[in-house]
Structure 1
């Protein structure tokens, strides 16, 4: 597995076009590989996420079984003369994960639930809108994903019943575009989670990090990354 980071040159038209279209960016990520990426036997796949620390500093993160070549992105949306991307072997880090480890994490996800308006109608996926529901969506998945979000001490809680975890939900976005090929409209609600976690099942967490969490993985959702606290 490989972890790659690329910085966009936000002054360039190519960057603005890619960042405004999840469909175009999805295609650009897939174009980083000589052969069309396929999900591996271990469930690993290409995952990507956009991180924005400011309007002028926006990064693309990619986790992938194969090493990508981002030359086309440097030419379209980077600094062709001096721009580079960073790719690291992700395997050693994944293999070192151990129960009890504590990490900061970030995840951009598409928190949805299945609803049925009428008994005779089929269920459909509907986005969680409120932050409490979005937070609960992640907390409901933490055990099987191999981690637990740390709880705050009582003195750090703003409200006793709604501020229990070291978890922030922010940057809610509604993405609307059409699928290439069939032209069907797609609308996604995405949010970013930042928090602190403790590893409870290293093998399950490794699966989460290489397989992704939730839906809409082709459009920049599901990639969780860890960082030292």
Structure 2
């Protein structure tokens, strides 16, 4: 497995085109590989856009093969002065152990199934509001091999708010056309930052390499870790 980071040059027209549609960016990411993995049960290509406090935008990719981002550099980077960074992700994944604590970031598509009328199929509907969106992730802790750390008691907090070390931010509503479909695809995405503890390393490694939740082709599902 490999972890890749590429900074996007926001001043270039090509970058604006890429960022305008998850469908376009997905196609560009996938064209970085000479061969694609079998997604039947194996690791898949995951990607995410990160924006930092200095208004810099990075494309993060986790993949079974090394990507070649030459086309992205030419279209949306700095061809003569900056390229991309790729790291061997396998040794890091292998070292994950029970009880390890990590700061994490995840962009996801938090949805739930809703049936509007009796007898009709359920429909995937976006969670609205930070508390419902946070609950979506908390409900997936056990099955994903981690638990989110708890905060001090409410009386110790200035705002007396949530009990978990979890922040939900950067809500985005995306609408884009997909080839062969008349109606646009619509997605709601949010980004989670927080602190977690590994409870099942094997299950957690699978989540890091297979993704969490839906809409993985459109920049959702990739969780990355940093020192707590």
Q: Same fold (TM over 0.5)?
A: yes
Equivalenced residue count is 227
Residue of structure 1 equivalent to 2:194 = 195
Gap regions ≥5 residues in structure 1: none
Matches within 5 A, 1:124-163: 124-154=123-153, 155-158=155-158, 160=160, 162-163=161-162
* Conserved 8 A contact 1:174-1:189: yes
* CA RMSD between the two structures: 1.4
Using a 3 Å threshold, how does the CA distance of structure 1 residues 40 and 69 change in structure 2: closer, same or farther? farther
Secondary structure in structure 2 of the residue aligned to 1:33: coil
In the TM superposition, residue 219 of structure 1 has moved relative to its aligned partner by 0.1
In the TM superposition, residue 55 of structure 1 has moved relative to its aligned partner by 6.4
Distance 1:35 1:140 in 2: 35
Matches within 5 A, 1:11-26: 11-26=11-26
Secondary structure in structure 2 of the residue aligned to 1:143: helix
Deviations 1:54-86 (A, max 9, x none): 464100000000110000000000001112100
Distance 1:55 1:125 in 2: 35
Residue of structure 1 equivalent to 2:173 = 174
* Conserved 8 A contact 2:37-2:43: no
Using a 3 Å threshold, how does the CA distance of structure 1 residues 181 and 54 change in structure 2: closer, same or farther? farther
Distance 1:110 1:90 in 2: 24
Residue of structure 2 equivalent to 1:7 = 7
Greater Cα offset, 168-177 or 115-124:
115-124
Distance 2:182 2:31 in 1: 20
In the TM superposition, residue 209 of structure 1 has moved relative to its aligned partner by 0.1
* Conserved 8 A contact 1:30-1:37: no
In the TM superposition, residue 37 of structure 1 has moved relative to its aligned partner by 4.1
* Conserved 8 A contact 1:23-1:180: no
Secondary structure in structure 2 of the residue aligned to 1:67: coil
Greater Cα offset, 215-224 or 31-40:
31-40
Distance 1:151 1:27 in 2: 39
* Conserved 8 A contact 1:28-1:73: yes
In the TM superposition, residue 40 of structure 1 has moved relative to its aligned partner by 5.9
Distance 2:169 2:119 in 1: 36
Residue of structure 2 equivalent to 1:62 = 61
Gap regions ≥5 residues in structure 2: none
Using a 3 Å threshold, how does the CA distance of structure 1 residues 211 and 156 change in structure 2: closer, same or farther? farther
